[in-house]
Structure 1
């Protein structure tokens, strides 16, 4: 099974880290390393199941997070407490990287916006403009989180005995299944309701089908607020 997923909005591990910081409403200058590292590691474990992009660079950052977390957990002797306070916070270099990356990303978006604005200044024959829908605010990292939560529910509900067979479901068949399920639910249903099997490969193919439909703008994912249920609905 091979299905490459690459979304241009998210370019690597620092994007994932910034996404988690925003989602968990963490102060970037006072990062709780235990919570952030745990969330990050869970996320890349799920990404490895889904085979989303190359995980090498994500694992490198995971090692960095674990190292920082370990340094912060080391006990400080009473006599050395004053010296420790004067030493550099182990999170400082990470915060600097994140802030610098965020600045570069904002600058890149501003340059892109300027380029698009300049393009409008060239004279051209009038053309019929199609209505443009709003950009999706939901992103692939949110969807991976929803898949991760669904897997946790599956583990609790999975029968003790299950017959294991080879799965031959294609993305096209999974797409048809998702659309049929949405039709039966008046065009919208909870994300986890689209997964009706305990077979891991079929679960993955259903996830890819949802991404495929989102890419083609046939469906969209919605969530009222952080940690709420995710819904998939037809456009």
Structure 2
């Protein structure tokens, strides 16, 4: 049987085919404009930057690359971009194309000794341009790596979580409450009229506070009351130096086993309890009351006395041996 085809159907199919081809060509042109300039030659097809990389690594012969065809394709690429063409990309193409043209000219020209200074200057300029181009490519790759790293890190969020329950229970409860008695003392101290401002010389000659004297105060209070908190022992201290001396006196009492320290819970008040006897003789060291220079002189004198006594003993022994 012979199939009969309607002429109108043939015309419509031809028009549809040509329309599809136009759409496909337009799509390819837009894709090329969006993705950047690519080269399509007989021996190479790919991005323009890759062409320069292959030539620089001697994987592709520059003499086999048709630079005129590359230029024509780039002009077509610029026309396809329309008003959206990129000035930076165009500048890059000019630099790369000039470098390729210089490389190809150097390969095609006969090699030999170059005596003309202008030719030497051109070759130096070519080498410098090629080095700058490779440097630009290295920075471009590094910037792309940084951009990829920043994009990956932007999707990460740090984990914020509290302590685990088993560790939270180990922390002591912080008590900032002030008792009425403590608040009354603070208020009385704050409302006490202050003395007129005078030029103080306390920073020049700090008053000396004796640890022995403060130890007598601490012992008297502990013997009369049995136990006190460290806050109660230092409430009437006129300055920080007196408070420090009373603390050192407590350490001396602890060393003499005349007082013990108790703290029922963390961050609570330190309780001092008297454990000495009524007639116990306490020995409080004077190492904190003697100035450092006097203490050193005293130690030196003691050492000299010890050495002198040893020498006299040796002399007496020798004398005894002579009489014998």
RCO comparison, higher one (Cα < 8 Å, 6+): 1
Q: TM-score, normalised by structure 1?
A: 0.34
Q: TM-score, normalised by structure 2?
A: 0.26
Q: Say which structure is richer in helix.
A: 2
* Higher-Rg member (1/2): 2
